[in-house]
Structure 1
């Protein structure tokens, strides 16, 4: 057995598992395994691996993943398992090489033995089948087809577990079966076959009462979740247990039923008929509350906490009703009004004692005496006590029983962590399916089904808050003539959403006001301003510049908002700091309060301070990251004024800090413009962010901040700023491989730079134009632009711009065969980059020089230089640049002897380019894979990769690269060599590229012979 999928997907033995790379090669193995020994077309594999949204390079990636899979299978001793068969691939493995085959074999033998009455043998086969499982089937693969297969396998596993229990029962081991089945029923409460087995096991162990309770629990689950009664077999078994026709193998004396000598009033509010969702939370409460009293040494206390409107009280009351049969002495309920006119423990005890039969005249007059009497009355009773809406632990402790037997359910907006031994249940907002289900239960499922899109918008705009959904449902019930889209349109207007979510006593605004009233002036202002910024998430430090306070006080303010459930904890970021976010409705409420209570001057000053702090922090981080853009500033740099400890934190891990803050600062830039605040600081932050976005190809944030900056520059009639932003947009689109749009932006920027006579901006624009024209194969204009840029930047003393121009000229000369001049230009570029302390630029120039050595056939020197360049780029923090150098190292290394494994490095390169949305890089690495297979005379694999690369170059509009790929295809596809060769010559005609001369001087056959000689 060397293919293991009943758990994490691996190949190899338990002691020597072979790596398969990331999830996609594993998904490919699963797809082929699902139809083992049958051909699966490549198009079908694309559909399976990417569901409904494959990338443009999907076909090429499939071929690459096949190479990865073959390597892993070979290491596991299955070298010939993955075969190429038109129109795709097949997995050729023997029966028994996969754990699924072995599981199915053992399972079938177990079933046969069971049918023959050989229960000991059946038990052994079931045990062997189940021992093959190592966790969730197909672990590490989340493609839709794999999830469906994993569900099927899970069902088979459950059937085997049932079979094992049946064997135990047949062998007289009822208690062993009950022990195994108890957990299985808890995991799958709606599985009637398993529940029936548990009932039988309990009955045969002499535990008929427990067996009947298992039936009642199952019936409740089926009615509550599916609205159906148990099936006939389960009902018949229930009847048999009731009338004693199920034999018991060991009788145990039944526990006497104790009737309470002190009847207790049932003060629990009525259950809600449309209780929805909260399956996991409800199961936790029911599990704890359903534990037999003999198994407990302390009283069970559950604290249900969550923000206002999340349904804490509803859950507690619903659970109390569900558990009522287990607590025959009754239920007590009290609303402690923790965030209003608070109910004291003294008063609450009075109500409880009255319900427990104490006359009002006999109630003790001190708190301690009431606590003592209360606990005395509860002694020996089994009842549920619901303490609703508690504010703090001090309200709850006097109301806790003194001994086991009672269940206490506490609800609170606070977590009440000070109650020792309490079991916490945290309520979040409802997910969309549960929110829609709840809306349907209120207004009728047919009304939701009539316009599911509008219903979905209503659920989304209620943000999963049960109180909001209930208010929306009540409004729709009151207006049966309204189509759902009418309410959806009203809720979409943020200015009136909270008004729309008010019906009678159902009001989100009133619910939030209770917590809001607890804020002092400073915390209230922080709440206002943070809500006004409308950020996706943020760190606590942001409150420091907003309030103009130190960082310690800022953290205290933010954490107090968390304590009051006005702010949620979003998680922990890459550098270990807590991130926070507002719930949508809370943010609207806070912004509404800010508009009412904060002056324009207060908002302007606070937001400007926060943007200035961001500028300081982003600049501190950018100084320690690779320089990718040419450093044009819209506004001048300034001395950092942010808190020194924050600057130090950024400098310690600039990559982690900037990744954590990216989405936040992008939204802050957009929000500042919406508020009309901090124009200069906003422009500065936008320009500072360009380089940090460029190094990681974070196109969305880059685009959004540049669009804000462009709008501000135009609104301010600042042509220099507009030129700088347009140049930034030019580089953005160049990095996106959108060369036509990049050129348009650079040329627009140049016109503005000429208008304001700014040579520094002009030089940068010319470098951009020259670089794009070079990529497009326009030699003369590219040379002119880059030469002019170099001369202009030289006069200005702008070494970084000179270096970029020299690099571009080096690439031009290399592409056209003047390798000596090219190498000289790359050396000059490296020298200039070193002068401005730019190790990234220096390493890129080193890679350019390595390509010159490779073109001369100096493969050892080329591999050495590109390897060093990759290491230096990684050290500089440029993973994508390092990937290009790694690809160059592979191309040099594949000509060296002895050959090393080069597929793995290329697969890693491909993954980096995919993550970075670098289409040029994907095309380049895909072509290199084709060249690698061609050099090793694997013509089918070479054709697959080269054809895929050709499609990508065509999509990018890069004719020279198309021609290079067609030249290689002529060698990989002899039957069409003349066609490919002619197409390559046509594309190269007039470009001046060195390949134009090379192809004109040789023939397809000579080229193919050259490739074969290199392969040997």
Structure 2
């Protein structure tokens, strides 16, 4: 397996490029590879993914990423490349498998050859090392500040290596070959003075003394403007040596002849067709720099034979034309033979033909009408011939397709072509793509100020920010809003904001003179096919920030691959944009104003019946996938209550790919799940609403999204009560009761469970009754009523056994085992746990298996077998981390901490118990937190630290009292009394160490 980080991140297994996964996995792998074969802590990985503002689930997300990468690599190598350690992870990379390691080894080899006097060999090795780079920077595209900070070291090593190689080539007299490369490097790194000096020397030795001095003057201007300092002494001495023609600058291979001057070029027409420059141009520094960098190479790079093509792509109104025209004016002097411009009207129904554009261009180049060829090919040939030796810039605005552009391309590298398009025009070979996005907040405010007046914006800053948000930070919309304010000096900015807040009027308000957002988007909308337009409209049904491809398939009732093609068509037209993800996990989204337009189209072009049918299919597909994800997470269709709502099934293989990692799938679709439950209730799809709500608990419980759990269940519960849906009401009461247990609101939980039991009994639903009974039994155990708890568990077990639900039976058995432990019967608990473990494994539920293992560890502790307990807890800990259950991890870490304490490993015990407390607080599990605090108190007692033992026991007792758990309260109180007694004894010690009194 080969890892590549010198450029975009890639992993190659044999000859196959692996799909690493989403952004988090890519950041995680990048960070590991930057420290290959060295430990990378979990905290560093979390910071790399999230920055300084870490979410509560950061560590769990890191573990999920590691697990995903392990499965990916194991599937292709059979080996566990990533190893786990107490504080983090290490990726094991063999020698030669990481391009950065090969680069460093070759650079060192080249330095040794240089020191040995083998300059040719050193250059060859340097060039081999530099050839490993596939981009300008290491790990391009990884949006993580810690990763890019670390990667910058490699980029700096690359530049130093390049400079060392060029220095040797200058010593070998290869100055003429280096001029193009050095010019390009200086454009990229204008503040590297060593490169400037090398270019000055190469030019001087090539007989281009004036140009060498011009390089120094430009260097001095740049240094003073950017840094406020003069060039260094070495560069100043080099300038003086060039001025005085110092012989020390010559090489042994100095040329003895000066090339003859080229003959003067024939006089031809020089066209200047660019539109006027934009007076209030704002921002876009990054894009302009990228375009300038590429245009600077036109006609200069001897290794480039094809015409340079730069494509500025983006949605309508994003400012593509503005950037292209502005940049063209900036670089016009580099193209002394003229600048051509044509608006191809790519978004219009009648696009400008290449024939028409070629006629205009040929006339501008001096071809009279009588000599104009009639055919497209003949015109294109004459056009290419006229531009063959000319440095001309051609700007093609709003191109629709590659076929519209191809006849307008020059034939040589002397000229350059700058294209704007709503599509990426991927069929133009070798083109450089510069993508345009919306403005950020500062750029939006600056543009508004330039058009409406800076004082006006400063006087209403908050309203101006709100205006920019309502414009979606889209430059055209901002320009229109600014123009409307400028034309109406009596309006306040807040007044325009109030008008735009009405979404049904927003596109009407964003219209001024010839400028209009609706017209701009409409041109693009009409340019795509009928099915793509239908998908565009129906995506507006979804009330979410992003959507997956499968949602489009369901909305249209089409196969997934057909929907995939339509998504690509809409994305190419910039009507939707990528929101991350790869393959079947790809996500898309609307720009805010385009969503408004889509909703207008939905209302105007889709019948209510079509909208309703599309929504029902999409919700049916969502429920189908949620159930598939739940089965994969639990190993089967266990502990679920289902409705008769219609499902919209996807093919088996596709479903397996989509929910291959169930919890990450749930996480991606969380916004759709939450909004889908509400949409289903509003549309009257009551069974879909409550079934989706209960299916989403898999996510809400494991990721502790308690607000989502509460809000969705209140919505679904209101819907089922409104329609007298008894089974749905029972299911929602049962699930809401489970939420109350998670929140440790036991009285509220018992009320919901008792109501749910009555409803399930009324309709004869034994599965529902059994599910509720096992939770009532848990409440009985927490209150210390072990007899009633046992009765409820045994009744639930009988029902689950009769239905053949192995996993639910295993769950009840391990809870019965806990009762046996708490009543002093560890042997009886052990027998029950053995049966539970076998059932959970037969049923394939790893989550319940970890719960059973946790109970077994507690049993071994009860038998005073801490070594066996620690072994069981370690196994359970690895499993619970792999499935991503932070709440379960807190309980297992608590047990592991107690086991390590009993083994005398106090430091390890303290780490485990403190980690358990942190996890419990993160997940809001007060019971787990209280039990872990109890463990810390026991640890303090063992270390004869009575003061801290009292503190921990008091905190634990307070938590046990708040959640009303008498059995645990009694235990905490007994241990607190012991700690206070110890503290009192310590307080009575005299100075000699003897007890006083």
Name the SS for the 1:386 alignment partner. Answer: strand
Equivalent residues in 2 for 1:14-29 (5 A)? 18-24=38-44
Q: For 1:875 and 1:232, how far apart are their aligned partners in 2?
A: 55
User: Which range is displaced more, 455-464 or 135-144?
Assistant: 135-144
1:267 corresponding residue in structure 2: 273
* Pick aligned residue for 2:754 from 750, 755, 765: 750
Q: For 2:51 and 2:567, how far apart are their aligned partners in 1?
A: 42
Deviations 1:357-382 (A, max 9, x none): 22334423332332233233323221
2:870 corresponding residue in structure 1: 863
2:122 corresponding residue in structure 1: none
Tell whether the 8 Å contact from 1:265 to 1:355 is kept in structure 2 after alignment: yes
2:554 corresponding residue in structure 1: 545
Name the SS for the 2:333 alignment partner. Answer: helix
* Pick aligned residue for 1:371 from 359, 376, 380: 380
Deviations 1:102-154 (A, max 9, x none): xxxxxxxxxxxxxxxxxxxxxxxxxxxxxxxx99999999999x999999999
Does residue 403 in structure 1 map to residue 423 in structure 2? no
Q: Structure 1 residues 808, 743: closer, same or farther in 2, change over 3 A?
A: farther
2:687 corresponding residue in structure 1: 680
Cα RMSD of the aligned pairs, angstroms, is 5.7
2:603 corresponding residue in structure 1: 595
Q: Structure 1 residues 822, 1007: closer, same or farther in 2, change over 3 A?
A: farther
1:670 corresponding residue in structure 2: 678
Tell whether the 8 Å contact from 1:137 to 1:150 is kept in structure 2 after alignment: no
Name the SS for the 2:390 alignment partner. Answer: coil
2:738 corresponding residue in structure 1: 731
Tell whether the 8 Å contact from 1:316 to 1:411 is kept in structure 2 after alignment: yes
2:468 corresponding residue in structure 1: 459
Equivalent residues in 2 for 1:747-786 (5 A)? 747-751=751-755, 753-754=757-758, 757-758=761-762, 760=766, 761=768, 764-771=771-778, 778-780=783-785, 784=788
Deviations 1:397-436 (A, max 9, x none): 2212223321111222222222233222222333334333
Deviations 1:15-56 (A, max 9, x none): 99652422349989xxxxxxxxxxxxxxxxxxxx99678979
| Deviation (angstroms), 1:259 | 6.8
Q: For 2:677 and 2:946, how far apart are their aligned partners in 1?
A: 58
| Deviation (angstroms), 1:457 | 3.0
Q: Structure 1 residues 25, 535: closer, same or farther in 2, change over 3 A?
A: closer
Q: For 2:58 and 2:886, how far apart are their aligned partners in 1?
A: 21
1:846 corresponding residue in structure 2: 853
Q: TM-score, normalised by structure 2?
A: 0.72
| Deviation (angstroms), 1:862 | 2.3
1:412 corresponding residue in structure 2: 421
Q: For 1:837 and 1:904, how far apart are their aligned partners in 2?
A: 33
* Pick aligned residue for 1:918 from 913, 923, 938: 923
Tell whether the 8 Å contact from 2:886 to 2:919 is kept in structure 1 after alignment: no
Deviations 1:146-201 (A, max 9, x none): 99999999999999999999x99xx9999899999867754555x59889878976
Does residue 299 in structure 1 map to residue 307 in structure 2? yes
Equivalent residues in 2 for 1:528-539 (5 A)? 528-539=537-548
* Pick aligned residue for 1:428 from 396, 419, 437: 437
Tell whether the 8 Å contact from 1:624 to 1:654 is kept in structure 2 after alignment: yes
Q: For 1:27 and 1:317, how far apart are their aligned partners in 2?
A: 41
Name the SS for the 1:411 alignment partner. Answer: strand
2:623 corresponding residue in structure 1: 615
Q: For 1:9 and 1:526, how far apart are their aligned partners in 2?
A: 36
User: Which range is displaced more, 212-221 or 294-303?
Assistant: 212-221
| Deviation (angstroms), 1:479 | 3.0
| Deviation (angstroms), 1:875 | 8.0
Deviations 1:648-706 (A, max 9, x none): 545765456545444434333334445x2533223222222223543454556545543
* Pick aligned residue for 1:313 from 321, 340, 345: 321
2:80 corresponding residue in structure 1: none
1:572 corresponding residue in structure 2: 581
Does residue 286 in structure 1 map to residue 266 in structure 2? no
1:933 corresponding residue in structure 2: none
Does residue 277 in structure 1 map to residue 283 in structure 2? yes
| Deviation (angstroms), 1:387 | 1.2
Q: Structure 1 residues 317, 218: closer, same or farther in 2, change over 3 A?
A: farther
Q: Structure 1 residues 277, 629: closer, same or farther in 2, change over 3 A?
A: farther
Tell whether the 8 Å contact from 2:311 to 2:431 is kept in structure 1 after alignment: yes
| Deviation (angstroms), 1:857 | 0.8
Q: For 1:1007 and 1:57, how far apart are their aligned partners in 2?
A: 42
Name the SS for the 2:580 alignment partner. Answer: strand
Q: For 1:678 and 1:566, how far apart are their aligned partners in 2?
A: 30
Deviations 1:264-294 (A, max 9, x none): 2311001212333333322222112112624
1:503 corresponding residue in structure 2: 512
Tell whether the 8 Å contact from 1:672 to 1:682 is kept in structure 2 after alignment: yes
| Deviation (angstroms), 1:244 | 9.3
Equivalent residues in 2 for 1:379-398 (5 A)? 379-398=388-407
Tell whether the 8 Å contact from 1:971 to 1:1004 is kept in structure 2 after alignment: no
Q: For 2:979 and 2:909, how far apart are their aligned partners in 1?
A: 30
Structure 1: state its 5+ residue gaps.
Answer: 1-7, 29-48, 59-67, 74-133, 925-952, 1010-1016
Tell whether the 8 Å contact from 2:633 to 2:845 is kept in structure 1 after alignment: no
Q: For 2:816 and 2:262, how far apart are their aligned partners in 1?
A: 96
Does residue 512 in structure 1 map to residue 521 in structure 2? yes
Structure 2: state its 5+ residue gaps.
Answer: 1-27, 60-83, 90-132, 987-997
Q: For 1:403 and 1:159, how far apart are their aligned partners in 2?
A: 30
| Deviation (angstroms), 1:510 | 0.6
| Deviation (angstroms), 1:540 | 2.5
Q: For 2:86 and 2:883, how far apart are their aligned partners in 1?
A: 34
Q: For 2:192 and 2:845, how far apart are their aligned partners in 1?
A: 69
Tell whether the 8 Å contact from 1:629 to 1:691 is kept in structure 2 after alignment: no
Tell whether the 8 Å contact from 1:208 to 1:241 is kept in structure 2 after alignment: no
